[in-house]
């Protein structure tokens, strides 16, 4: 009986170790901690697949557990005053210094857009709450965290439009005065899908005729910037990396546009481009815009173009117009639209499917004359900035946040 218990225990431990272990690159710090964290994500993803297959709940509905697990109630403390409000119909969380002394100069502000693939996430998640408080206390700034609506059911362009409306509302004179914000010292920032929204808003504000709003800076943390080529070297190199494997990123993209699984299958095969969207592939040609050191063993091959009949059968006409829209794929704008954009901070990670999106955008912005600070973390992985809460707190997350805030301090 005792021997049987020992055998069962050893077998259970062996199975657990086998499930948790992943071949993670040696230069990633705290590898076992990342393996443990990712085992939760993988387990939840498997459960989400099963629930969707059985018709119990859609995939993203199950994955939303990630948001709920990290959810907190933002409350004021001795240093930071927190209020929840609605700006032009969109929920927001505002963080500001708790003490406003008489005669204090106007403050800078950061409009922060959370990540989560447009389908997950919330300003009320613990890592975002902590980050906002850190920005407030270290910069003596106001942080406006936007709770934009998520897909599904709120597909593109709804999340983008929510953010755009919030930014315009925040720049109203009476709102700026209410929070003692200097309109010439406002940045828009975000991570992952939030970086996508931040880049898109920065571009569209500059394009709108007679638009008086001028952002001082844009700070993009491992942003996702294009949906046309999902086979860049970083997508290939990191297709099985923890936290954001290629399958999940493609799933986020397809769910942003539609619940039709035909688009997901086409995007997985990188055959989702229409003849119309293929014209824009020149803006994401990584053989041109990606420094050669990142080409590695990969050779450029233009994505296949699907023709009209098969696209109609797959109900992909409307989504194809969406992923070619620069509000969804900011990397697709022509060079003329990049000029005069606010100075940019772009953070990229070596072990991230989105690495090349950020690097190509930095390359194109510099070529257009925009001041760019590009920080590349050779041992970084996607989502690292979120790992600041025990037991999944990572040293690299602290370094990233420290450098990010330092840049804001010096440039905002």
CA distance 344 to 189: 10
Q: Please report the DSSP string for 314-342 in residue order.
A: TT-HHHHHHHTSTTT-GGGS-HHHHTTPP
138 burial type by CB count under 10 A (0-12 exposed, 13-18 middle, 19+ buried)? middle
Give per-residue pLDDT as tens, 302-353.
888 876 545 544 555 566 678 889 999 999 999 999 999 999 999 999 999 9
3-state secondary structure of 388: coil
Q: Report the pLDDT value the prediction gives residue 100, as an integer from 0 to 100.
A: 65
* Torsion region of 108: left, alpha or beta (phi above 0 gives left; psi -120 to 50 gives alpha): beta
Contacts with 256 (C-beta within 8 Å, 6 or more apart), sequence order: 117, 118, 119, 151, 155, 156, 159, 193, 328
**What is residue 393's DSSP assignment?**
-
Q: Is the peptide bond before 153 cis (omega within 30 degrees of 0)?
A: yes
CA distance 200 to 359: 16
8 — pLDDT class (breaks 50, 70, 90): very low
CA distance 95 to 314: 45
**What is residue 362's DSSP assignment?**
H
What residues act catalytically? 192, 352, 382
Residue 18 has pLDDT above 80, yes or no: no
CA distance 349 to 229: 19
Give per-residue pLDDT as tens, 22-42.
678 888 888 888 888 889 889
Alpha helices (H) in 258-297, listed in sequence order: 261-268, 275-278, 286-289
Q: Which domains does the chain have, with CATH numbers?
A: 76-411 (3.40.50.1820)
pTM, two decimals, is: 0.93
Across the range 289-303, mean pLDDT stands at 89
Q: Report the pLDDT value the prediction gives residue 233, as an integer from 0 to 100.
A: 96
CA distance 313 to 238: 32
């Amino acid at each position: 009986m005792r021997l049987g218990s020992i055998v069962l225990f050893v077998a259970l431990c062996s199975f657990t170790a086998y499930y948790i272990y992943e071949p993670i690159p040696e230069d990633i710090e705290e590898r076992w901690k990342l393996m443990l964290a990712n085992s939760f994500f993988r387990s939840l993803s498997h459960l989400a697949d099963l629930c969707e297959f059985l018709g119990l709940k859609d995939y993203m509905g199950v994955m939303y557990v990630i948001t709920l697990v990290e959810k907190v109630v933002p409350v004021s403390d001795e240093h930071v005053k927190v209020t929840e409000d609605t700006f032009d119909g969109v929920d927001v969380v505002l963080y500001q210094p708790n003490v406003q002394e008489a005669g204090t100069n106007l403050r800078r502000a950061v409009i922060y857009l959370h990540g989560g693939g447009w389908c997950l996430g919330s300003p009320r998640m613990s890592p975002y709450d902590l980050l906002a408080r850190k920005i407030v206390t270290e910069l003596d700034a106001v942080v406006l965290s936007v709770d934009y609506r998520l897909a599904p059911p709120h597909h593109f362009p709804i999340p983008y439009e929510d953010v755009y409306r919030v930014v315009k509302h925040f720049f109203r004179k009476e709102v700026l005065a209410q929070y003692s914000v200097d309109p010439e010292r406002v940045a828009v920032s975000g991570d992952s899908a939030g970086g996508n929204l931040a880049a898109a808003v920065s571009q569209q504000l500059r394009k709108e005729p007679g638009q008086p709003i001028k952002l001082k800076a844009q700070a993009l943390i491992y942003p996702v910037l294009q949906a046309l080529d999902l086979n860049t070297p970083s997508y290939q190199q990191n297709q099985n990396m923890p936290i954001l494997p290629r399958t999940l990123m493609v799933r986020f993209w397809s769910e942003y546009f539609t619940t039709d699984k035909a688009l997901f299958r086409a995007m997985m095969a990188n055959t989702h481009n229409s003849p119309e969207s293929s014209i824009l592939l020149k803006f994401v040609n990584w053989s041109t815009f990606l420094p050669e050191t990142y080409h590695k063993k990969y050779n450029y091959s233009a994505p296949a173009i699907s023709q009209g009949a098969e696209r109609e059968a797959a109900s992909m006409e409307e989504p194809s117009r969406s992923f070619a829209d620069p509000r969804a794929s900011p990397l697709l704008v022509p060079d003329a639209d990049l000029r005069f954009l606010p100075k940019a901070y772009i953070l990229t990670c070596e072990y991230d499917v989105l690495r090349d999106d950020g690097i190509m955008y930095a390359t194109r912005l510099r070529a257009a004359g925009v001041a760019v600070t590009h920080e590349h973390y050779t041992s970084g992985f996607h989502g690292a900035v979120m790992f600041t809460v025990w037991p999944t707190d990572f040293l690299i997350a602290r370094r990233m946040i420290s450098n990010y805030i330092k840049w804001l301090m010096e440039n905002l």
